[in-house]
Structure 1
C-alpha cells in the first residue's frame, strides 16, 4: 500500500461514475460527482449504520420485510459511494503516446 499525502487526499472528490438501483437494466440513481471523498465516506458510514440497524430489526420482525428492503437499498447506496471513492483513489495505468492518439 502506498502512502498518500493527507492534504492531497482531502482535496479529492467523487467522480460520479458509479450507478446503483437499476430499473429495466438502466441505472435509476448514481453517485454525484464533486463530493469531497471524506464527506462521501462519512455518509456511507452513516448509511451502513442504518442498514445494520434495519437488518437487525428484520431478523426479529417476522410480519413484514420492509426492514430487509430498507437495509438492502441502504447497503446498495453505501456500496456505490465506496466504489466511487475507490475509483478516485486507485491509480490508473499510464497511457502511452500511441494509446493517447487513438
Structure 2
C-alpha cells in the first residue's frame, strides 16, 4: 500500500481558457498536500478580494483577480480528486516513478 503522503498530482487538469484552449494546467508531480495547501491559499486570497469587491463599486479588478484565483484553486482540487479516485493502478504508477 502506498503512503498517502507519497501521492502526487497527475497534471491532467486545465485551468483558465482563452479561445477554447487551456492557458494553464496543473503541474504533474506536486505532492497532494502541497497542492491542497496552495488551493487553500488561493481561496483565502479570492475570499479577501471578493470582500473588497463588494465595497469597491468603481472597479472590477478585485472580481477578476478572485475569479482567476478560484479557477486555479478548482483545477488543483480537481487534479487531487482525480488521483484519489482513479484507484490503485494510478497509485502504483506513481510509486514506480
| Shorter-normalised TM range | 0.7 to 0.9
Match of 1:21 among 11, 16, 23: 16
Tell me how far apart the structure 2 counterparts of residues 61 and 86 of structure 1 sit (CA, whole Å).
Answer: 35
Residue 60 (structure 2) pairs with residue 65 (structure 1): yes
Moved over 6 A (4+): none
Residue 29 (structure 2) pairs with residue 52 (structure 1): no
Q: Tell me the TM-score normalised to structure 2 length.
A: 0.86
Q: Tell me the TM-score normalised to structure 1 length.
A: 0.82
Residue of structure 2 in register with 1:37 after alignment: 32
Tell me which protein shows more helix as a share of its residues.
2
Q: Aligned to 1:22, what secondary structure does the other structure show?
A: strand
How many residues of Structure 1 are paired with residues of Structure 2 in the alignment? 89
User: Where in structure 1 are there 5+ consecutive unaligned residues?
Assistant: 95-102
Bigger Rg over Cα: 1
Identify the structure with bigger relative contact order (alpha carbons < 8 Å, sequence gap 6+). Answer: 2
Residue 93 of structure 1 deviates from its aligned partner by 9.3
Residue of structure 2 in register with 1:89 after alignment: 84
Q: Aligned to 1:20, what secondary structure does the other structure show?
A: strand
Residue 8 of structure 1 deviates from its aligned partner by 1.2
Match of 1:10 among 2, 5, 14: 5
